[in-house]
Each structure stands twice: as C-alpha cells, then as structure tokens.
Amino acid sequence: MYRSHVLVCGGTGCTSSGSVQILKALQDEIDKNGLSSEVQVVKTGCFGLCALGPIMIVYPEGSFYSMVKVEDIPEIVSEHLLKGRIVKRLLYTETVTEEGIKSLNDTSFYKKQHRIALKNCGVINPECIDEYIGSCGYEALGKVLTEYTPDDVIKVITDSGLRGRGGGGFPTGIKWKLAKQNEADKKYVCCNADEGDPGAFMDRSILEGDPHVILEAMAIAGYAIGADMGYIYIRAEYPIAVKRLEIAIKQAREYGLLGKNIFGTDFSFDVDIRLGAGAFVCGEETALLSSIEGRRGEPRPRPPFPAQKGLFGKPTLLNNVETYANIPQIILNGADWFKSIGTEKSPGTKVFALGGNINNTGLVEIPMGTSMRTVIEEIGGGIPNGKKFKAAQTGGPSGGCIPAEHFDVPIDYDNLISLGSMMGSGGLIVMDEDNCMVDIAKFFLEFTVDESCGKCTPCRIGTKRLYEMLEKITEGQGTVEDLNKIEELCYYIKENSLCGLGQTAPNPVLSTLKYFRDEYVAHVTEKKCPAGVCKSLLSYVIIADACKGCTACARVCPVGAITGKVKEVHTIDQSKCIKCGACMEKCRFAAIIKE
C-alpha cells in the first residue's frame, strides 16, 4: 500500500515541456530517499491546465505543483514527501490563499467544469488496465453483455440524447439504430481519431489519458449493432496516443476484454489501429473509410451512408473519440443522469481546447449551455495583458467567429450554428483587439486550400480563388466590389462542394464578413488595417519631436532602412522597410509608431 501518490502529467503538452525528465528525476530521488515502497509515481494523461505544465499533483494532500522543473525535484521529495512540508512556492498560485491551501476543485479553472469524457484523464495511469478497472472500467461492457439486449443499449443511448461530438451533432442513438437495422454478414465499428482542426486536441488527450474507455465503448457499440471488428483511425502525428492505444489493446486482449467470448458470452470483438497520414479531409467519414481500406483518402457522395454501405461495403458505425468516451458513463449512470446535465437539446458536456489570446490555455470540459463569457473569463482566466476581447473562433476552419456582443449566448450545437459558427470538434481560439479578422479568415482559408483533396471543383478552385481575393485585400489592392464577389463565391462553394470540408470552408470568411465587415471595408477603402496586422497596409514612422538620435533603431534594422546622424532625427526609408517592427521594439523614447 502506497501512502502517497505523485501524479505527473504525461500528455503531449507536458511531455514537450519536459515531464519525461521530471518523472525520471522524481523516481531517482524517491529511490535515493528510500521512499519507493511508500510513494507511488504515476504517469497520467492530461490535467487540462496545459499553460502551467509540467504539472504534478501529490495525494492525499492534493497539492498542485505547476511549471515544475527538474531542479525542483529534490526539494519536493525531501520537503513534501519526506517531511510533509508542502513546497508552497511551487504550488499553483491560485490555490495558495491567506486562509491556507485551497482545493484544486475550488479554483476558477476547475470549479465550473464537469468531467465526463475526461473523467480519468490526469487521474489514472493510462498504461495500466488495472487502474482503469479500479475506476469502474469495463463495468459498462459487463453490464450490457449480461443484462442488456442490443436494442436496450440503443434505447439508453437514444434516450440520453447524446449527439456526435466530432462536430456535426448528429444524434448518436439514431446512428447506432441505423447501423443495427442494416442486415449483413459482417459489420464494422470505427472510431474517428483523425483530429485535424488546428488548435483542437481533446481527442488526443482522451486517447493519451484514458485509452481503454474508447476500447470499451467500441465493444459496447459492436454488441449493439452486431459487429465483431473495430478500427481506430488515428493520425500518425499522435505518437503517444498511438503507443498507449497499442498497449491498451494488448492488455485488453490479455484480460479477454477484447477477443473471443468476452465475459463468457457469445459476443466476440476485436480492435485494430489504422494510421492516417494527417490529411484533414480524412476526418470526413467517407474519406476516412476509404483510407482504412487502403485507398486514396477522398470523400464520395452520400447516400449510401456508411450505416448502409461503409467499410469494405459493409454497414459501418463511425463515431468520434469524445462521443465514445461518454458511452460507458451513460450506460453506468443511465440516460436520465446524462440528460440532467447540459441543455434540453444538447445534453451532456463538451470538451473545449482553449487557445489563442487567453491566460489558461488548455483543455476544459463544461456542461452544454455554459456561456462563452464563463468559459473565457472565468475558466480561461481572461485575456492576457489587459487587452480587449474581440471574438472567439469555434469549429476551426469549418467554423466561424463569435463576436463580443454574443458573449453571453449559452454554448450548444444549435446556438452556435445560428450564430454562423459551429461546435466543430471543440477548438476555441480567443482573439483580442490586436487580431485582424481579415487575416484570421485568410489563415483558415490557407489551411483549407492546402487540405482540399481536389476531387470536386468548387472546393479545389473555389477556395483557391477565395484565398487570392483575401490576399488582395490584405495587400491593399482590394475594392468594395471584391467584398460582394467574395460573398457570392462563398455561397457557391458551400452549395456545390461534395463533402463537409468544402461545404464549411467559407464559414470563417462569411462569419468575419458578417460581424466585422467594417474591418474589411477599412482594408479596401481606406487601405488601413485597424488592428495593425497586415504588413502591406502599415508603415513605421519616426516622430521627429521624440527622436533623440540615439541610433539604436538604425543599428537594429536588418535591412539598413533607417538613416540619421548621432543626436539628430532619424528617418525610415519606406521603400526599403520590411516592416519587421524591430526598431519600434528597440526605441526607448517611443518615437517610432505604426500607422
């Protein structure tokens, strides 16, 4: 029996900030102090507060150490683990109050969260099946195999009102029902782990932190629809997730939780992994299935839907990682429990990846219906450097911007769509007053131009032309007429593209045009970028009265565009200036401004 557990985050975020070295140093130090039989070191999945990584929690005290460095380890071991004195200077500052040390669950980042899909992330060791079982793992599978008929399972999922967490929000129960109805000699259950939206990483975190939950849920789905084989399609860029999935599959097979006659019943189910090369289009269901089959990852027209003719021409059920992560909890706690969380039309929770200009970048799981204000100001800790909130981008390149005036709208599938955005997989990028909305639209469009598979013309050529028009505007060559052309082309692409990629690609442009048209107009009529981002539209000038002639700017200019004698006013040659901004940063007299 260990008296103390030290949990260290082994997610991708904390791994890249050095948690592997910390784990090693910690174990070495514990061994050195003869504590190895008393203190257990556990490598877990993501805690969510990635901005403060590497993260370490010590139980039973629940001390939350943030931004831990290898040099801090001897102190933590000798003070906290050996002598029981919490190292206050390394604690997450919000937990340290005058009255003592606050529980992590009372901090603003965690207080309003409700963890269902992320329940085990940051709590269990993802590479140990016993820990998952200790956290009620595989109990839902046991329950459905011994107590439920396949129809019962589908009824619970339907009654729960769970909707697809990959973005579209299609009712999961109906999807399962359709896959069950289609009779065939072979059926498949697939998991879409091809998380492609820039900034979204919840699927990766679930797979890294709790891989068994996906295997369990897929087995439940297999039982419900009558399939005995499952495939997880995951991008090869997620090496930690792939490795942990492989370990999980191996362990589950050894325990007989995957394989033949699970729990002594007639039900057999196995899972295999297929690696994707990281094409965004392969998140689209038909393209994904083509890729699993070994063909080019290109979408095809629907119908037939995958539930009718999917993988290898057989009825196939395809759900997203986060959707699956909810399934065992729904089975164990019941549909009514799930419906009691969230809103009427969107029950349950949603995981969001907070990114951009926000203090607490990381992963949060909130009940549906929470307002954007709560997510950004309370959980996210607001905007850094006292800047003003401008807009939040949800749904990545398929979604749109939500401006400040809709800050209090409860987040759910339908509200986001009516605002011209979408839930998407849950990336939430926060933008402040220094972001140019035309530039943002151009950024996302550049992504879709790159990722368009090229099968259909509206998407292949349409997005390219759209991008060129945006480029023209940001370079100061745009006209008012271009804005109308852009809008027309957007609707054309949306209506005529074959798959979701093209149909949603213009959303970032349309929504910024809707809410921030004045910025576009400023670019084309005044040839100004109000946020000061578009380089072609701004120039750096020296205010003669403020310049002391210290020559600092001239020395730092990489292209020699600044001339002037010592103690005399300097000038910038606009034809040479590359607008890098180095001079403005260097000037100690605030004599250089951006116009």
Told to check if 103 binds another protein by CB under 8 A, we report: yes
CB 420 within 8 A of CB 507: yes
Interacting residue with another protein among 92, 138, 223, 516 (CB under 8 A): 138
Tokens 């180095």 sit on residue: 582
Cα separation, 112 vs 106, whole angstroms: 9
Burial class (CB in 10 A: 0-12, 13-18, 19+), 174: middle
Cα separation, 52 vs 43, whole angstroms: 17
Total of residues contacting another protein (CB under 8 A): 40
Select 105 or 525, whichever has its Cβ closest to another protein.
105
Cα separation, 420 vs 511, whole angstroms: 6
The H or E element containing residue 31 is helix 19-32
* Interacting positions 54-73 with another protein (CB under 8 A): 57, 59-62
Tokens 């990545």 sit on residue: 396
Told to check if 146 binds another protein by CB under 8 A, we report: yes
Select 142 or 334, whichever has its Cβ closest to another protein.
142
Q: How far is the CB of 430 from another protein (least distance, A)?
A: 29
Q: How far is the CB of 204 from another protein (least distance, A)?
A: 22
Q: Can you give 324-347 as a three-state secondary structure string?
A: HHHHHHHHHHCHHHHHCCECCCCE
Told to check if 36 binds another protein by CB under 8 A, we report: no
Select 327 or 486, whichever has its Cβ closest to another protein.
327
Told to check if 7 binds another protein by CB under 8 A, we report: yes
Taking Cα atoms as reference points, which of 502, 481, 500 lies closest to residue 490? Answer: 502
Told to check if 5 binds another protein by CB under 8 A, we report: yes
Interacting residue with another protein among 16, 105, 149, 340 (CB under 8 A): 105
Q: How far is the CB of 35 from another protein (least distance, A)?
A: 9
Residues in the chain: 595
Peptide linkage before 198 cis (omega within 30 of 0): no
Told to check if 90 binds another protein by CB under 8 A, we report: no
Taking Cα atoms as reference points, which of 20, 11, 14 lies closest to residue 41? Answer: 20
Told to check if 99 binds another protein by CB under 8 A, we report: no
Q: How far is the CB of 112 from another protein (least distance, A)?
A: 16
Q: How far is the CB of 31 from another protein (least distance, A)?
A: 15
Cα separation, 46 vs 34, whole angstroms: 29
For CA atoms 465, 468, 474, 476, the dihedral sign is negative
Told to check if 97 binds another protein by CB under 8 A, we report: no
Told to check if 250 binds another protein by CB under 8 A, we report: no
Q: How far is the CB of 135 from another protein (least distance, A)?
A: 5
Q: How far is the CB of 426 from another protein (least distance, A)?
A: 25
Interacting residue with another protein among 21, 27, 38, 582 (CB under 8 A): 38
The H or E element containing residue 458 is helix 457-474
**Helix (H, G, I), strand (E, B), or coil: what is residue 396?**
helix
Interacting residue with another protein among 8, 26, 124, 453 (CB under 8 A): 124
Interacting residue with another protein among 264, 303, 386, 560 (CB under 8 A): 264
Cα separation, 398 vs 427, whole angstroms: 11
Select 84 or 560, whichever has its Cβ closest to another protein.
84
Query: How many CB atoms are closer than 10 A to CB 384?
Result: 12
Q: Which residues bind another protein (CB under 8 A)?
A: 1-3, 5, 7, 37-38, 40, 42, 57, 59-62, 82-85, 103-105, 123-124, 130-131, 133-139, 142, 146, 255-257, 261, 263-264
